Structure 1
Amino acid sequence: MDAKLKTKIKEFVLSEVNEPVAAATPDPFWQSLKNTGTELWLDTGDIDEANKNWTSEMTALTTNNTLINKEIQKGIYDKLIGQAKAIVKDLPIREQIMEIAFIVNARHGLRLAKTFGGFVSVELHTNTAHNMEATVDYGLRYFELCPEQFIVKVPYTASGMLAARKLRDLGVKINFTLEFSARQNVLVASITKPNYLNVFLGRLGAYLKDNGLGDGSGAGEKAVLETQRWVTKLTSKNKVPTKLIAASLRSASQLEDLAGVDVFTMPTQVAAAGKASLKGSFSSRLDADYPVHLNSPEDEPLISKLWHVSEEELALALDLGANLPLDGNELIQRVHDAGFRDLFPYLSDEDLEDIASEGKIPVHERWASRIKSGELAVDTLLNLAGLASFTKDQAQLDARIERLIS
């Protein structure tokens, strides 16, 4: 796309963002949690829901393909989509759709930034997940729209790690997302050096419970706390130390159990439930060690990959960070050569379709033999399922755009 059209799109996105500023009053409950060292973010794209929970102790909102799709499907941007069509009409239809998706996502992010005054994490189109050039291009375009407040979310893929590193080198704030284990985040911290990275802890407990592997307790919390220790250790001397986000919180009790972790992204229902049910006397739990209850001891070596980082995995991460691969394929090959094919497995289109069909929580029985053989791992499986879920929601958003511009 030529620079002139990019400029025209940027000017259009920035026009008519005249949101009223939300009142942010102090709240001793959230101040107590903030005093443990935890940044407080709301995990929503719904302005009305955010307004009900926003206080002066909160510093950011985070969106994703699923949350933005919910907003788009309300029809609130149908008029904007029609106006955007006139700007991008000379592009091929698939490019029109991608550009309009960028426009509505960016406009919504700007509205959130204007309303609440904090940082806003904005997510890339899922079509860019394995494309370094597209990730860098769109990442820069998002950031240039609102450099003081936008944080660009890049999903965990081999190409995504390298693209996000390029964006960091260019000064773009990065929230690296869709990680599920300490070892994945050791790779990300070493290679990408993002401002933020994640553990989606709620899905870890759900994977164990839904698949009858255990009661689900403790797994997400253990993975988060081990990741926090690794990330702090690996990035404390960086010019900008990386912060860990405890993402996908499922219950109010986790606000207490993980107090002190760098960042919480809280769904509004979890934030509201915490305010209603907890005393608000928080203390840091960074030294806690939560037990994980598994039904079979045989599963422990496989599940412990969520929080255990071997010396060999650490050495691989440090080598990749010091000697960056040229592209995602080289990164994957070096991971395989080091003996960790389960971090980036080679899967067939049929495998990927099966993962997508299972939703956010994969069916363990289908993959158990391949997990035991070392071809796959639970963290990798959850990452692929998460990306597939976002891709499905992105497709729904794209379909609405296509209907409106056809």
Structure 2
Amino acid sequence: MRIFIDSANVEEIKELNSMGFLEGVTTNPSLVAKEKRDYKEVLQEICSIVNGPISAEVLALEYEGMITEAKELAAIHPNIVIKIPLTESGLKAIHTLHQEGIKTNATLIFSANQALLAARAGAAYVSPFLGRVDDIGNDGLILLEDIMDVFDQYLLETEVIAASIRHPMHVVQAARIGSHIATIPYK
């Protein structure tokens, strides 16, 4: 299983990258806002540190805005992957961006059905939110297992990123289940 960091803190990213195991980054506008820096500048800096997929999330909630923002973010660096929330507009945007050769990461995945729809629409990655699923009284690891079973059954090429990691056992269990990637907060 590959390890990504879920962060916008450049120093954290540099530190983990120097250890040799970091293969990608997931981030979003809220994480960048905590750093009190410009979103695009932070993305450029992250891309200069990590030679792997860098997921950058759009802010727009409607289709046209998602497409516009996605193209702007994708133009920053070839390693940028566009995080799109899995809504009806998001699903349509994922499909359009896939047709245009822009990789996407379907985020806010709370069911295997959502993950399957995103994969079929052309998402390069899907990010089930394990911790948030746990928070609402369900089991995030069972969700991850269901997604992996469906993807394996149909030989889907979309990679699964275990997200919203809350504790070390989420990482171990995600690896046992066969998640392709875990994106882990620094602390």
TM superposition score normalised by structure 2: 0.91
Q: Aligned partners of 1:223 and 1:121: how far apart in 2?
A: 22
Contact 1:105 / 1:122 at 8 angstroms: preserved in 2?
no
Q: CA deviation at 1:235?
A: 4.8
* Residue 13 of structure 2 is aligned to residue 46 of structure 1: no
* Residue 48 of structure 2 is aligned to residue 106 of structure 1: no
Q: Aligned partners of 2:125 and 2:25: how far apart in 1?
A: 13
Q: Which one-letter code corresponds to 1:159 in the other structure?
A: S
User: Match for 1:196 among 125, 133, 149?
Assistant: 125
Q: Aligned partners of 1:66 and 1:145: how far apart in 2?
A: 19
Counterpart in 1 of 2:81? 151
Counterpart in 1 of 2:165? 249
Q: Structure 1 pair 46/65, CA: closer, same or farther in 2 (3 Å)? A: same
Structure having the larger proportion of residues in strand: 2
* Residue 151 of structure 2 is aligned to residue 231 of structure 1: yes
Q: Which one-letter code corresponds to 1:267 in the other structure?
A: P
Counterpart in 2 of 1:187? 117
Q: How many residues align?
A: 184
Q: Aligned partners of 2:58 and 2:20: how far apart in 1?
A: 28
Other structure's SS at 1:253 match: helix
Contact 1:153 / 1:174 at 8 angstroms: preserved in 2?
yes
Extract unaligned runs of 5+ from structure 1: 1-37, 78-103, 209-215, 270-406
Q: Aligned partners of 1:253 and 1:176: how far apart in 2?
A: 24
Counterpart in 2 of 1:220? 140
| Mapping 1:6-405, distance limit 5 Å | 38-54=1-17, 55-72=19-36, 77=37, 104-125=38-59, 128-129=60-61, 131-147=62-78, 149-190=79-120, 192-208=121-137, 219-236=139-156, 241-259=157-175, 260-269=178-187
Contact 1:165 / 1:194 at 8 angstroms: preserved in 2?
yes
Q: Aligned partners of 1:255 and 1:63: how far apart in 2?
A: 18
Extract unaligned runs of 5+ from structure 2: none
Q: Aligned partners of 1:195 and 1:232: how far apart in 2?
A: 15
Contact 2:94 / 2:118 at 8 angstroms: preserved in 1?
no
Contact 1:60 / 1:118 at 8 angstroms: preserved in 2?
yes
Q: CA RMSD in A?
A: 1.5
Q: Aligned partners of 1:230 and 1:65: how far apart in 2?
A: 31
Other structure's SS at 2:68 match: helix
Q: Aligned partners of 2:152 and 2:76: how far apart in 1?
A: 30
Q: Aligned partners of 1:66 and 1:234: how far apart in 2?
A: 35
Other structure's SS at 2:109 match: coil
Q: Aligned partners of 2:15 and 2:75: how far apart in 1?
A: 30
Superposed CA deviations along residues 124-161 of structure 1, whole A, max 9, x for unmatched, are: 12xx21x22221122112112212x1111111110111
Q: Aligned partners of 2:149 and 2:47: how far apart in 1?
A: 31
Identity of aligned residues (%): 26
Q: CA deviation at 1:255?
A: 1.7
Bigger Cα Rg: 1
Other structure's SS at 1:258 match: helix
Q: Which one-letter code corresponds to 1:63 in the other structure?
A: T
Q: CA deviation at 1:173?
A: 1.1
Q: Which one-letter code corresponds to 2:182 in the other structure?
A: F
TM superposition score normalised by structure 1: 0.44
